[in-house]
Structure 1
């Protein structure tokens, strides 16, 4: 497997997201169109029009699967789930357990979806992808925007539970910004660092942030107070993977998640929220990281453990 990207619509194994100091620097997403309830954005919220491409192993895609499920959009927006292991040609579709092939475009690889949307596309080929069947274009590949659209813009097609309520949006956005670099991206900054200084900086910031939110969650049930919001689901997808992959493979090993009493209880509480476990796959997570990143794990041996009991009582 070689991480790659598209250059002028052609697949290449050329790939780098590091600067001269050895720090991991994530390339920004490119497709930022918006679905709106009234269609004034150019993409109208309609049942059967859109299709979501995800990986159950990837935390960014996982957050969109959660909102898709929790907002009751299963019969409104189609779903494809890629193979958990990234191939020499990037994300691929397969019939492995837990995967769903591309029933919309019949693609073998996700890069073909990007090229179908933009024949000269240059950049990374990432999940999630929200596809518009009507125009044959990618609406968005930015997970934060997708979950906001799922929560706000599908009106009668979605249920009434709001994870991005108007009165909390400013606070939710602040928290999303606060957890992104040190935690959500921080585990990657630690795991993909190629210098000691870059790794030390990233892992130190990561655990300082985890300690901060451990303190917050010792005083209130959720990141923004008493209500579950998209900020919680964005932190959850990182926490769900922490002891499964980041602690060991990414060298985020100052503490395990279960060594943070309040974060561990919080993660279990979110996992036990109705509908959540159905879009959580520990096996896809471990396959993605241990079998799919030979630069970090040349043997590709997938560990049997850890045996996490996320169904443990919250009492």
Structure 2
């Protein structure tokens, strides 16, 4: 999934390693096939993961994580990187919140590994003739000079366990006993909440009925989550959050400051849900998670050049 702001209809893509002001749909109409995602996995011993090839062993200092604070998908990976205490094990490169003419860009010196000026440069370094979207997050292998993975769900999951022997952090956010429920909940939230939020944004250029349907679908899910959280602290347990909780947090962080205002998804705010609001702040205040959230960059990305002052909400309360 992609990170878009108002007016981002022409996001731009790489075509045979060259940046072009086109969309994937336009590429498809021209009969040009985009490359697939990078789907290798870092594992404790370097063996192959669920997809891709092997050879990516968990080692201190070997990998670099490329993210944007503005992108909710990158935020998922960033949260897990922080939760699992990987700050001294995996380097971090953060893009500017405003995209340049060539997509996600870096300020000078922001990428100490490749000295890239754009995320597109990271993709071209990995595959000179790459065709497709230059998205974040990206997990880069400094040893072999290639992209390990650029799927947020994959990166989250490998960061959860691959480095445990090195860091000593054994907290399991994907416990075996709950895996079927976690997988089911992940799929449900991606389709019924996050997918519907995307429809709300696009529906504003279509019909009133389409917009209203999408908005009502979003709040139906939020109402359901509020009911669920009135009975327990987290989505699946009353003890500790699981992977599904952390995947949901970036959406909740952006709800009042982006979706409510920018997309007119405004039946209710997050703060109008007492249990959901308390839950979101509980996650935000866990360990170092708050350090992965940059409200100002989220607003700059979504509203530039006029940045709203509000809303005034206390996530630390």
TM-score, scaled relative to structure 2: 0.87
Would you say 1:188 and 2:201 are equivalent positions? no
Measured at CA, do residues 74 and 186 of structure 1 come closer, stay the same or move farther in structure 2, by a change above 3 Å?
Answer: same
Report the number of matched residues. Answer: 292
Q: What does residue range 232-243 of structure 1 map to in structure 2 within 5 Å?
A: 232-243=245-256
1:34 pairs with one of 41, 52, 55: 41
Tell me, in whole angstroms, the C-alpha distance in 2 between the residues paired with 1:185 and 1:129.
Answer: 22
Give every structure 1 segment of 4 or more consecutive aligned residues whose post-TM-superposition deviation is greater than 4 Å.
none
Would you say 1:221 and 2:233 are equivalent positions? yes
Moved more, 141-150 or 169-178: 169-178
**Match of residue 294 from structure 1:** none
Tell me, in whole angstroms, the C-alpha distance in 1 between the residues paired with 2:212 and 2:21.
Answer: 28
> CA offsets per residue over residues 116-151 of structure 1, 9 Å max, x none?
111121111111001111111111111111010001
Would you say 1:307 and 2:317 are equivalent positions? no
The two structures, once aligned, show a CA RMSD in angstroms of: 1.9
Q: Is the 8 A contact 1:152 1:164 kept in 2?
A: no
Measured at CA, do residues 55 and 17 of structure 1 come closer, stay the same or move farther in structure 2, by a change above 3 Å?
Answer: farther
How far the C-alpha of 1:198 sits from its partner, in A, is: 4.1
Q: What does residue range 152-167 of structure 1 map to in structure 2 within 5 Å?
A: 152-158=161-167, 159-167=169-177
How far the C-alpha of 1:211 sits from its partner, in A, is: 1.0
**Which consecutive unaligned segments of at least 5 residues does structure 1 have?**
19-26, 292-299
**Match of residue 200 from structure 1:** 212
Q: Is the 8 A contact 1:54 1:65 kept in 2?
A: yes
Tell me, in whole angstroms, the C-alpha distance in 2 between the residues paired with 1:28 and 1:144.
Answer: 19
Secondary structure at 1:52's aligned position in 2? strand
Measured at CA, do residues 305 and 29 of structure 1 come closer, stay the same or move farther in structure 2, by a change above 3 Å?
Answer: farther
Q: Is the 8 A contact 2:260 2:266 kept in 1?
A: yes
**Match of residue 57 from structure 1:** 70
> CA offsets per residue over residues 256-284 of structure 1, 9 Å max, x none?
11111111111111111121111111001
**Match of residue 138 from structure 2:** 129
Q: Is the 8 A contact 1:182 1:202 kept in 2?
A: no
> CA offsets per residue over residues 189-247 of structure 1, 9 Å max, x none?
21133312543333222111111111111111111112211111111110001111111
**Match of residue 93 from structure 2:** 80
**Match of residue 4 from structure 2:** none
Tell me, in whole angstroms, the C-alpha distance in 2 between the residues paired with 1:202 and 1:135.
Answer: 44
Would you say 1:12 and 2:20 are equivalent positions? yes
Would you say 1:117 and 2:130 are equivalent positions? no
How far the C-alpha of 1:11 sits from its partner, in A, is: 0.5
> CA offsets per residue over residues 271-313 of structure 1, 9 Å max, x none?
111211111110011011111xxxxxxxx3110111111112x
Q: Is the 8 A contact 2:35 2:132 kept in 1?
A: no
Tell me, in whole angstroms, the C-alpha distance in 2 between the residues paired with 1:256 and 1:286.
Answer: 16
Q: Is the 8 A contact 1:29 1:142 kept in 2?
A: no
Secondary structure at 1:302's aligned position in 2? coil
Would you say 1:262 and 2:269 are equivalent positions? no
